[in-house]
């Protein structure tokens, strides 16, 4: 599993997850929206920690810097 996520991509995903968590804990979102956004936030955190996004793989997308 080759890493295909750069630092900016990881940072944006983690920040998005933090915003979703803040919205949930301040009761701005609830119900079905909270569940769906919570799952998305969890996926963002997991892919950021691994440095690999499965959705990027079939399209050969990589946000890492090329090291020649």
Tens of pLDDT, residues 7-65: 999 999 999 999 999 999 999 999 999 999 999 999 999 999 999 999 999 999 999 98
Instruction: Tell whether 38 is covered by a domain.
Output: yes
Instruction: Tell whether 22 is covered by a domain.
Output: yes
Token pair, residue 63, equals 């946000």
Instruction: Tell whether 65 is covered by a domain.
Output: no
Q: What's the rounded Cα separation, in Å, for the pair 12 and 2?
A: 20
Instruction: Tell whether 64 is covered by a domain.
Output: no
**42 lies in which domain range?**
7-52
Phi, psi of 58 (to 5 degrees): -65, -25
Instruction: Tell whether 44 is covered by a domain.
Output: yes
Q: How many domains are contained in the chain?
A: 1
Instruction: Tell whether 2 is covered by a domain.
Output: no
Q: What pTM did the predictor assign?
A: 0.86
């Amino acid at each position: 599993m080759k890493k295909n996520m750069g630092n900016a991509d990881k940072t944006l995903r983690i920040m998005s997850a933090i915003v979703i968590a803040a919205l949930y804990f301040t009761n701005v979102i609830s119900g079905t929206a909270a569940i769906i956004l919570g799952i998305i936030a969890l996926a963002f955190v997991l892919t950021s920690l691994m440095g690999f996004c499965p959705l990027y793989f079939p399209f050969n997308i990589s946000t890492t810097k090329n090291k020649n």
